[in-house]
Amino acid sequence: MCRTTQNSASITTDERIETFEGMDRRAFMSFCAKIAATLGLAPSFIPQVAEAVEGAVRKPSVIWLHFQECTADSEAFLAMNYPSVEELVLNILSIDYHETIMAANGDQAEEALKKAMADNKGKYLVVCEGAIPMGTPPGPAGKPGMFCTVAGRTAYDLAKDVCKDAAAVICVGTCSSYGGVQAQRPNPTGAVSVGEALGIPTINIPGCPHNPVNSVATIVNYLLLGSLPKTDRYGRPLFAFGKRIHDHCLRRAHFDAGQFVEKFGDEGAKNRWCLYKMGCKGPQTYSNCPTVEFNDGTSWPVKAGHGCAGCTEPNFWDAMQPFYERLPNVHIPGVEASADKIGLTLVGAAAVGAAGHAVYTFANRDKFTDTIEKKKE
Amino acid sequence: MAYADVGLGNEGVGDICLAVQTRSLFACLLHWIIFTAVVILAVTGIYIGYPQYYYGRGEAYDVFVMADIRYFHLLAAGALIASVIFRFYLAFTASCNRDIMQFIPTPSNVMGAAKLAFYYLTFRGKHAHYRFINPLGGLGVFIMAALFAVQSITGVLLYAHGADPCLWGWAGANWLVDAVGGQQNARILHKLSMYMLIFIVIIHVYMQIWKTSMFAEGDIASIIGGYKIFRYSDIGHFADRYGIRITEPPPSGERMTKASHAMEEGSGQNAP
C-alpha cells in the first residue's frame, strides 16, 4: 500500500497524487483526528486538518539539522506508524535535508541543502536536533565551537546560516531545547540550546527523546493555521506542555491514597501504586506523556512501572538526578549533601547545643550573678 | 501598670517587682495560632516529603491519606500567612504592641543581640533589660519571618504552578519559578527552610524555658497573659528606648506611687 522511494527529488507530481489516492483514506483521516486531538481542537476541525495536510500544493520544505545529539529524536520521528515514515517524509512534508535518512552524502548532500535553502528562501521550516557547543577545544588549532563540525563548518556556523532565512525554527528534543545531557554540569564543551546560541526565539519540543506526536502536531498546526502554536515561557507548545504529569497521571489516585512503591518489584509495584518514593518527577514535569503515550499509545514510563525522569524540564540532567530520589543534592561550595542531611545536621546541632547549654548553666548557676539563685541571697 | 511588693524567698524587703505589659492579649493569641499552624505544617509537611504506606492501607477509592494531609497543610499555611500578616500589622499600632523596631536588624539591635548572646553563654558582666522582646529574640523572629516568607512563596509555587490563572494566577507565573531557580530548587528551598525553622523553634523553646527558670522574670507568663515581671533593682539600666526609665532610687510610700506614674507616662513611644 505504501510506496518507498529513496530520493524525494525524483518523485513527480503525478506519482505524488497516485500515492495519496493509494493511501487508505481511513488511515489518513485517523491520522488527522489524532493530530486534531493533540492540538486540542474540536472534532469539527478534523476536515480542516485533512484539507490543510493534503491540500498543500507545495508541501512545506523541512530542513533537519543535527548537532550534538544521539539521533533518538529522529528515531522517534521515524518510528511513527501513524502516519508511516514514508508518508511523512515524502507526502506530507518535503524533508529536503536529513543527514540520517537522505540518500545523498558528501557534496551531493551539501548541494541538496543549498538548493533547498535557495528554492524556499524564507519559507522553509528548520527542525533542529542536538545542542550547539560554544566552547573552544584545547590545543593550538582549537576554535570556538569546534567540538561539533559538519562538512567543515562548526555547528554554530551551520545553524546561523540555515536559520537566518527560515520561516520558523523548531527544536525537537531536550538537547536542542535546553542543551541536553552534554550541558550537564560541568558542561565541558559549552553546549547550549539552539535558541540561546543563535539568540532567536524557537519552538521547543523537549523530551528525551521528544514525543513525535508533538512535533508532527506542531508542524500540522503550521500547515493548518500558517502560524506556530501558543507557547509557554520556555517556548514549549502549550497544547502539549501545559499540564503537569502529576495532574493527569493514571496512578494519581494511589498518590492521594498514600499508597507508594517502596522497592521495585514489591507488592506495591505489582499493584501499580504511585512511584513518588521511587523518585518520580511527575509533580514537577510538564508534558502530555500520560495522555498521548509513546509508540502510538503503547506505554509511557509510569505506566510501565518506572517513575518519570522529568526529561522535558530545563536542566533536567542536573535538577532531576538522582532519578530515584526526590531531590538532587544541594550544591554549597565544599559541601555536597542532600537537603535532608543538611537539615538534620542543623537540627541535631541545635538539640545538642541546647542540651549542653542547659547542663552547663544549671550546674553552675550559683556562680552567676543576676540569676534567681543569686537574688535569694 | 501595677507594682507589688513581692518577696521571692529569703531576700526580705527591698526588691520591688513590677509587672510590665509587653504585648496585648490579641498578640498572644496570634502567637499561639502561629505555633499551632507551624506544628501542623511541620507534621503534615514531613509526611508529604516522606510518606509511609502504613497510613494508606486499603483501597484507593476509600483511602485519602495524602490528599487529606495536603488539605490540612494548605489550611494551616493559610492560617499562618494570615496570622503573620496581622501580627506584622499589630507591630505598627497600639502602644502595647508597637515593637516593630525590635524585629528589624539595625546595627544597634545586632550589637545588643551579640552582647546578650555573650552574656547567656558566659554570664560575664550585666545584661540589659527590655520591655518588649530583646534584640536576640528579635533577630530570631526576623529570621523566622523571612523563612515564613520563603516557605509561603515556594509553597504556593509548588501548589499552584501550572494551574489556570485565576486566584493563583501570580503563583502560576513562570517568572516566579525562574526567580527561585526552577521547580526542583523550589522544593529544596522549601525543605531546607523547614529544617531551619525547626532549628530556630528548638532554640526558641529552649531559650524561653531556660530564661524563665534562670531569671524568674515571667517570660512564659508574658506570652500567655501579656505581662512580665521586672525587678526594680534591674531596671535602673533599662535599655529599651520604648520602655521605662527610672533614674532615682526607689522611694517609699507615696513617692513610689509617683514613680509608677512616671512609668505610665513613659509607656509607648515617649520614653523620657
Q: Count H helices, E strands: chain B?
A: 9, 3
pLDDT digits (tens, 9 = 90+) for A30-49: 878 888 888 888 888 888 88
| In a shared domain, residues A96 and A231 | yes
Residue A289 maps to a domain: yes
pLDDT of B245 strictly over 60: no
Which of A234, A263, A321, A372 to mutate to probe the B interface, most B CBs <10 Å?
A372
Mean pLDDT of the region B108-116: 89
Q: Is B215 on the interface with A (CB under 8 A)?
A: yes
Residue A1 maps to a domain: no
The band of A304, judged by pLDDT with boundaries at 50, 70 and 90, is: very high
pLDDT of B89 strictly over 80: yes
| Residues A22-30: contacts with CB under 8 Å, at least 24 apart | A23/A87, A23/A91, A27/A82, A27/A83, A28/A54, A28/A83, A30/A82
- pLDDT at position B33 is 96
| In a shared domain, residues A57 and A201 | yes
Report the CATH number that the domain containing residue A257 is assigned in CATH: 4.10.480.10
Residue A310 maps to a domain: yes
B168-187 burial, b at 16+ Cβ within 10 Å, e below that, comes to: beebbbeebbeebebbbbbb
Q: Is A327's CB within 8 Å of B214's CB?
A: no
Chain A residues 231-250 with CB within 8 Å of chain B: 232-234, 242-244, 247
Least confident of A156-165, B145-154, B176-185: B176-185
- pLDDT at position A369 is 59
pLDDT digits (tens, 9 = 90+) for A45-71: 888 888 777 665 457 889 999 999 999
Domain B22-240 belongs in CATH node 1.20.950.20:
yes
Residues from chain A contacting residue B195 (CB–CB below 8 Å)? 339, 342-344, 346-347
Residues from chain A contacting residue B175 (CB–CB below 8 Å)? 233
Give the count of alpha carbons within 13 A of B234, CB side only: 22
Sign of CA dihedral B98, B104, B108, B111: positive
Residue among A146, A143, A6, A150 nearest A65 (CA):
A150
Q: What percent of chain A has pLDDT over 90?
A: 53
| In a shared domain, residues A213 and A311 | no
CA gap A210, A73 in Å, rounded = 6
| In a shared domain, residues A227 and A344 | no
**Which one has a higher pLDDT value, A52 or A171?**
A171
The band of A176, judged by pLDDT with boundaries at 50, 70 and 90, is: very high
| In a shared domain, residues A178 and A293 | no
| In a shared domain, residues A120 and A28 | yes
The band of A328, judged by pLDDT with boundaries at 50, 70 and 90, is: confident
- pLDDT at position A372 is 55
pLDDT digits (tens, 9 = 90+) for A205-218: 999 999 999 998 88
The band of A282, judged by pLDDT with boundaries at 50, 70 and 90, is: very high
Least confident of A75-89, A362-376, B132-146, B213-227: A362-376
Residue A2 maps to a domain: no
**Which one has a higher pLDDT value, A353 or B176?**
A353
Name the minimum distance, in Å, from the CA of A244 to any CA of chain B.
Answer: 7
- pLDDT at position B173 is 61
**Nearest-5° angle of CA B71, CA A340, CA A342?**
135
Mean pLDDT of the region A266-287: 93
Q: How far is CA A349 from CA A268, A346, B140, B144, in A?
A: 37, 5, 17, 18
pLDDT digits (tens, 9 = 90+) for B188-198: 999 999 999 99
Residue A3 maps to a domain: no
pLDDT of B19 strictly over 50: yes
Residue A202 maps to a domain: yes
pLDDT of B239 strictly over 70: no
Least confident of A55-59, A192-196, A365-369: A55-59
| Residue in the block written with cell 549533601 | A337
- pLDDT at position B247 is 44
pLDDT of A373 strictly over 70: no
Least confident of B43-57, B107-121, B247-261: B247-261
Average pLDDT, chain A: 86
| In a shared domain, residues A31 and A78 | yes
Q: Is A335 on the interface with B (CB under 8 A)?
A: no
Residue A153 maps to a domain: yes
Residue A139 maps to a domain: yes
- pLDDT at position A141 is 87
How do beta strands A203-205 and A168-172 pair? parallel
B196-216 burial, b at 16+ Cβ within 10 Å, e below that, comes to: bbbbbbbbbebbeebbbbbbb
Which of A92-101, B46-55, B245-254 has maximum average pLDDT?
A: A92-101
Whats the size of chain B, residue-wise?
272
Domain ranges of chain B: 22-240
- pLDDT at position B252 is 52
| In a shared domain, residues A321 and A214 | no
Q: Is A342's CB within 8 Å of B49's CB?
A: no
CA gap B17, B232 in Å, rounded = 6
Query: Looking at chain A, which residue has its C-alpha nearest residue B121?
Result: A357
The 3-state DSSP class for residue A243 equals coil
| Residue in the block written with cell 533599662 | B238
**Which one has a higher pLDDT value, B17 or A236?**
A236
A296-327 burial, b at 16+ Cβ within 10 Å, e below that, comes to: eeeebbbbebbbbbbbbbbbbbebbbeeeebb
Last residue of a domain, one of A217, A241, A265: A241
pLDDT of B268 strictly over 50: no
- pLDDT at position B16 is 65
What contacts B50, CB < 8 A, 6 or more positions away?
Answer: none
Crossing angle for the helix pair A46-55 and A212-225, nearest 10 degrees?
80
The band of B99, judged by pLDDT with boundaries at 50, 70 and 90, is: confident
pLDDT of B250 strictly over 80: no
CA gap A228, A305 in Å, rounded = 35
CA gap B32, B160 in Å, rounded = 28
What is the dihedral angle through the alpha carbons of A114, A117, A118, A119, rounded to the nearest 10 degrees?
Answer: 120
Chain B residues 171-190 with CB within 8 Å of chain A: 174-175, 178, 182-185, 187-188
User: What are B21's strand-pairing partners?
Assistant: B227
Alpha carbon distance, N-terminus to C-terminus of chain B:
17
CA gap A146, A82 in Å, rounded = 38
pLDDT of B28 strictly over 90: yes
Residues from chain B contacting residue A357 (CB–CB below 8 Å)? 120-121, 206, 210
Q: Is B78 on the interface with A (CB under 8 A)?
A: no
Q: How many domains is chain A built from?
A: 3
| In a shared domain, residues A105 and A206 | yes
Give the count of alpha carbons within 13 A of A147, CB side only: 22
Q: What percent of chain B has pLDDT over 90?
A: 33
Q: Which domain holds residue A97?
A: 8-241
Q: Is A347's CB within 8 Å of B216's CB?
A: no
Mean pLDDT of the region A152-156: 93
pLDDT of B7 strictly over 50: no
Give rounded-to-5 percent helix, strand, coil for chain B: 60, 5, 35
Q: Is B11's CB within 8 Å of A268's CB?
A: no
Residue B151: is it exposed, middle or buried by C-beta count within 10 angstroms (0-12/13-18/19+)? buried
